[in-house]
Structure 1
């Protein structure tokens, strides 16, 4: 089996893992796709590694809190005629250990060795500090 790579992406407008779950459930109820997708302008150059078991790690309020496994990449042509990449994900949202991330544009590659570990089923991100405190520390550059 070849090498795997993950992505890390800001989840803009989402306040918590529960908010992300509620948002995804609403889209599905309203007839949206069975598998959620994130549309981006850039096509991952490391596509083969990403599709070899990679995930998107979601940064919520300055902290990686969960991930979704990447299933495939679909080409999407916008109304403006520009080719984009739809990153199609497994609907399961897996909670991870918390990891502070500074704001950035787009997405970044994340090596498996640097990726936060999964938490057990039903677990809530519970590092030594609450997520809100970790976010505040990240905002002032302390953690």
Structure 2
């Protein structure tokens, strides 16, 4: 399975990204616009788009498909649900990049810890250190 990474431009937190996606979601899907269609697009359907915020992979969305848009641009159809992942450092880049399945971070399931009771600042700091 092949995935992709993309910088969440203008988003300083996962909450902001979640709000942005929610504002544009309809019928359980969201559209991400990009300049070029990936040459390996067929391999990515069913994979995930991993979001980079503050130089870390922090969340993913399942890729449902690709469509052509006006002006030769591409629309990536993704599941509107944003799944937090175990944060992993990732340098920012322009556009999108491929991500092999072996390099993809695991979903954040919280494990035995109840992180909902922690202050947001603590969650952010522990996540930045890749401890949760």
How far residue 132 of structure 1 moved from its aligned partner, in angstroms, is: 5.0
How far residue 130 of structure 1 moved from its aligned partner, in angstroms, is: 2.8
Task: Using structure 1 for the length normalisation, give the TM-score.
Answer: 0.74
1:115 corresponding residue in structure 2: 104
1:68 paired to 2:61: yes
Residues 1-143 of structure 1 mapped to structure 2, 5 A cutoff: 4-28=1-25, 33-34=26-27, 35-51=29-45, 53-77=46-70, 82-120=71-109, 130-132=126-128
Do the aligned partners of 1:63 and 1:131 also contact (CA within 8 Å) in 2?
Answer: no
Mapped to 1, the partners of 2:4 and 2:63 lie a distance apart of: 9
How far residue 22 of structure 1 moved from its aligned partner, in angstroms, is: 1.7
Q: Give the secondary-structure state (helix, strand or coil) at the position aligned to 2:92.
A: coil
Q: Aligned in 2, Cα 1:112/1:132: closer, same or farther, shift over 3 Å?
A: closer
Provide structure 2 residue ranges, at least 5 long, that are not aligned to the other structure.
Answer: 117-121
How far residue 131 of structure 1 moved from its aligned partner, in angstroms, is: 4.0
Mapped to 1, the partners of 2:80 and 2:59 lie a distance apart of: 12
1:138 corresponding residue in structure 2: none
Do the aligned partners of 2:51 and 2:60 also contact (CA within 8 Å) in 1?
Answer: yes
Provide structure 1 residue ranges, at least 5 long, that are not aligned to the other structure.
Answer: 135-143
Q: Give the secondary-structure state (helix, strand or coil) at the position aligned to 1:25.
A: helix
More helix by share: 2
1:137 corresponding residue in structure 2: none
Structure 1 vs Structure 2 CA RMSD? 2.4
Task: Using structure 2 for the length normalisation, give the TM-score.
Answer: 0.80
1:65-106 CA distances to partner (integer Å, 9 max, x unpaired)?
A: 0000001111111xxxx2111001001100101111112111
Do the aligned partners of 2:6 and 2:95 also contact (CA within 8 Å) in 1?
Answer: yes
